[in-house]
Copies of this chain bind each other. A is one copy, B any other.
Amino acid sequence: MSVWKDYQNENKERFLNELLELLRIPSVSAKTAHKADMITCAEAVKTRLIEAGADTVEIYSTEGHPIVYGEKIIDPSKPTVLVYGHYDVQPAEPLELWNSPAFEPTIIDGKIFARGSCDDKGQFYMHVKALEILVKTNTLQNNIKFCIEGEEEVGSPNLGKFVASHKELLKADVVLISDTAMISLQSPSLDVGVRGLSYIEVEVTGPNRDLHSGVYGGAVANPITILAKMIASLHDENNHITIPGFYDDVVVSTEKERALMAEAPYNEDEFKKDLGIKEVWGEKGYTTNERTGIRPTLELNGIWGGYTGEGAKTVLPSKAYAKISARLVPNQGTDKMTSLLIDHLQKIAPANVTVKATLHHGGEPYMTPIDSNGYRAASKAIETTLGKAPIPVRGGGSIPICALFEKELGIKIIFMGFGLDSDNLHSPNEKFNVENYYKGIETIPYFHKYFTEMS
């Protein structure tokens, strides 16, 4: 469709500048200090949707950050695609590790460096620009709805209620999400599953106050030492997770599926070189791709306790803390796994400390079928613009809302991500390749076209 390509070429620079503008808003959902920025960002999304051609756009307030809903309905009897994305971003810390400020997008070597450039502002905004192309070139043949939330990075605590109470508004034939990665533009892939998440925080309390480590050391349980022993015991010598029952519900992948996965390009030397590590790590008996795709994991996301400032302080602290998260695979239920994890930590805590463990947020794992019009349309769209059919892969990350969409709206989700694993998601120097951004905008109209034709 050269009319699409022409329109995009004529507006290329503006498409990019609009994204950069969005990236300048520090919409960090985890931090209360950014509450006003969240509202500013939601309003910017609304404005852009209206400019792109949506005929109704509303900001729905929630108990947390607002949800932006927009739609372009050409004919209710035509197929409807619901685009889901999120305008909130992860905290940018540690700030000192960024080469350019996290909220001052900087383009170097064709890469946009900024928090949220890939996750997910750059990716959901491709859909806003695709809408503009379809509307302005008068080629839109289906209905498009947008549900862009502001709490994905904190576990979408309020989207569930919104979806459940707005089923008619959100009614669609498929959900389309660009919030994942592909292997590369040369080796395109489509995620067919995302892992679930159970994210908890643990507080270990020893003595009722910080103590002098000389006066009391050796005679009172040190909560850091105890927490370390608890953490150390969570993986055995084969890096299997030791929590009783943790693997019980895992759907074991077939040999065929594992053989298919093994075909995905993977070069261990490059993998190690990219990360600066001498050896990979992980559950015995599985490859790197399997460890991050089909197997559940347990990671320490943060730890702190005692004196962490400059110099030395000889303290035996009262408390130590950790943030721990499990990635879950089908059919591990989030609630069950969270309970297993919390109960286990309580159980292994020795009597000389008190352990408090609480859920931060969770999300169910999700799998999408490849024998669906949605998957076929996405595959064909990518083949059209990238010249190669994508291979189906399992993503390691989590999008907590997936299972909910299916449950409430009864429709399947298609993950059509244009990010890369190397985009430093959740890390300093997050980036999104300008080329991937443009390729996404180019590909999305084909998805709508093919999906409408197949329906």
Q: Do residues B228 and A427 form an inter-chain contact, with CB atoms below 8 A? A: no
Q: Is A233 part of the binding interface, using a Cβ–Cβ cutoff of 8 Å?
A: yes
Q: Is A7 part of the binding interface, using a Cβ–Cβ cutoff of 8 Å?
A: no
Q: Do residues B291 and A397 form an inter-chain contact, with CB atoms below 8 A? A: no
Q: Which residues of A in the span 274-298 have a Cβ within 8 Å of any Cβ on B?
A: 275-283, 288, 291-292, 295-297
Q: Is A312 part of the binding interface, using a Cβ–Cβ cutoff of 8 Å?
A: yes
- From B213, B361, B424, A209 is in contact (CB under 8 Å) with B424
Q: Do residues B30 and A280 form an inter-chain contact, with CB atoms below 8 A? A: no
Q: Is A76 part of the binding interface, using a Cβ–Cβ cutoff of 8 Å?
A: no
Copies in the complex: 2
Q: Which residue of B lies closest to A361 (CB)?
A: B312
Report how far A305 CA is from B427 CA in the complex, Å: 14
Residues of the B chain whose Cβ atoms lie less than 8 Å from the Cβ of A325 = 213, 217, 312, 314
A425 to chain B, nearest CB (A): 4
Q: Is A136 part of the binding interface, using a Cβ–Cβ cutoff of 8 Å?
A: no
Q: Is A53 part of the binding interface, using a Cβ–Cβ cutoff of 8 Å?
A: no
Report how far A225 CA is from B301 CA in the complex, Å: 10
User: In the complex, which range does the number of interface residues on chain A fall in?
Assistant: 35 or more
12 contacts between A and B (CB under 8 A): A90-B314, A201-B312, A207-B275, A211-B426, A212-B426, A215-B396, A216-B421, A218-B292, A218-B396, A219-B292, A307-B323, A315-B426
For the complex of A and B, list the 8 residue pairs with the smallest distance between their C-beta atoms, beginning with the closest.
Answer: A208-B276, A214-B397, A30-B311, A218-B297, A232-B232, A302-B306, A224-B300, A221-B281
A residues near B, CB below 8 A? 29-32, 90-91, 93-94, 97, 153-155, 181, 195, 197, 199, 201, 206-222, 224-225, 227-229, 231-235, 275-283, 288, 291-292, 295-297, 299-317, 320-323, 325, 327, 350-352, 360-361, 395-398, 421, 424-429
Extra A-B contacts (12), CB below 8 Å, given A91-B313, A218-B327: A30-B309, A93-B307, A208-B277, A209-B424, A210-B426, A220-B281, A224-B300, A227-B228, A228-B231, A301-B314, A303-B305, A304-B308
